[in-house]
Structure 1
Amino acid sequence: MFVKLRRTRPEPEPAVTLTKQTPATAPVRGTAAKGRPTPKRRDADPRRRGPVAPPPTTRREAYKRMKADGSDKRTAVRESARRGEDSALPTRDRGPVRRLVRDIVDTRRSVASLFLPFAVLFLAGYFIPSGNAQNYLVLSWTVFFLLVIADSISLGVRISRTVKARFPDEAKSRGTTFYGIQRSTMIRRWRFPKPAVGPNDRI
């Protein structure tokens, strides 16, 4: 008995239809995948913004430019120091202890702050051709000098007590009291760094 084997015909492949992209669906040139415009190179790198100064052509021009840059940096450092920033202050003015001493001095009205104006008046009094006037000047200078000494002693005691109470480890640091007394002899407007507190403020 013979069995006929039939060949199975291969199924026809589905026809592939090509569709053209319409202008509405075609990607726009220069547009990113998310629908945003591709940023330009100068906008992608913020460091390149602004005009770039041309290089100096002569040694004199390079020196002037270097001098101007140094002057700007010194001005910025000076302003930071006047505001009392530790990073810009000299070594003798840095630290929380010295800041506390400055605040103690700046919150009180010191007799010693009148030392410079009084000294100018005292020197000017020597040109007055009068013996009585000069005697009064000497007497007033002696009284003023005694008041400065008493005020400085009072300020030194207050500085020592306050620093000892708030910074026990720094209570015996050298020069703290003298630093405050020296600052008190300056006119308030000329103090450096400039006062961060007002008179009679609590610290």
Structure 2
Amino acid sequence: MPSLFRRKSADLVDEAVTPVTPDEESESARPRGYTPAKGRETPKRPAAGRRPAGATKPLTKEEARERRRQQRAESAAEFRREGGPRDRGPERLLARNVVDSRRTVGTWFFGGALIVLIGSNAAMPPAIRLASNLLWGALAVGLVIDSVLISRKIKKLVRDRFPHTDQRMGSLYFYAIMRAITFRKLRTPEPRVKIGDPI
């Protein structure tokens, strides 16, 4: 009696040689990493999501140097315009505007210090040495008074406009005073207000 569970070898051979049509095998049923049988066309990879082809021509030394110089110039211009991390925040902007809207003694401090250095030389006559020492004292007193006035104005404006600020006032005063003793054309970020503008 033949076995019910045994298939004929001829049926197995027929199944092995019967070709599978594309309609019978869907794309979704294929496992990942599927490789089609020999003689069939390899499916194309989708173009979406690919990286765009880069420049095939390498840069010469002169071109690379020029590109680096241009990038440095752009970075310097952006820093001059926007400043760095220490210049961020509305309180810092307010302090800068307070300083930039007025003439400060600090802008003349370094020029006066150079005059004092030359005038206090031992080779100079006593009258010039005395005058340079008086000038030095006047600059120091003027710088202190100007710094106090700037700090008081910043304190008042910050309390009025930013009552819930977490900015440390001492740090803000020092930031403004350091800006006040810098020449206007060298200040970073560059001034956004003119001298005499209301703040």
> Normalized against structure 2, the TM-score is what?
0.65
Alignment of 1:59-74 (within 5 A): 61=60, 64-74=62-72
Identify the residue that residue 80 of structure 1 maps to in structure 2. 78
Give the Cα separation in 1 of the matches to 2:106 and 2:166: 24
The percentage of aligned residue pairs carrying the same residue is 29
Give the Cα separation in 1 of the matches to 2:56 and 2:72: 24
Give the Cα separation in 2 of the matches to 1:137 and 1:106: 28
Q: Classify the secondary structure of the residue corresponding to 2:189.
A: coil
- What are the superposed Cα offsets for residues 37-87 of structure 1, whole Å, 9 maximum, x if unpaired? xxxxxxxxxx9xxxx976128xxx3x5544432322221122122223xxx
Q: Which amino acid aligns with 2:75?
A: V
| Residue 80 of structure 2 is aligned to residue 93 of structure 1 | no
Q: Which amino acid aligns with 1:82?
A: R
Residue of 159, 167, 175 corresponding to 1:179: 175
Identify which range, 178-187 or 69-78, moves more after superposition. Answer: 69-78
Residue of 104, 115, 118 corresponding to 2:112: 118
- What are the superposed Cα offsets for residues 152-177 of structure 1, whole Å, 9 maximum, x if unpaired? 01111111111121112226425111
Identify the residue that residue 58 of structure 2 maps to in structure 1. 56
Alignment of 1:140-159 (within 5 A): 140-159=135-154
Higher relative contact order (CA 8 A, sep 6+): 2
Shift of 1:189: 1.4
193 and 71 in structure 1: CA distance in 2 versus 1, 3 angstrom threshold = same
Identify which range, 68-77 or 179-188, moves more after superposition. Answer: 68-77
Identify the residue that residue 17 of structure 2 maps to in structure 1. none
Give the Cα separation in 2 of the matches to 1:171 and 1:105: 21
Give the Cα separation in 2 of the matches to 1:171 and 1:165: 14
Q: Which amino acid aligns with 1:119?
A: A
Alignment of 1:129-140 (within 5 A): 129-140=124-135
Give the Cα separation in 2 of the matches to 1:64 and 1:170: 50
Identify which range, 167-176 or 119-128, moves more after superposition. Answer: 167-176
Identify the residue that residue 105 of structure 1 maps to in structure 2. 99
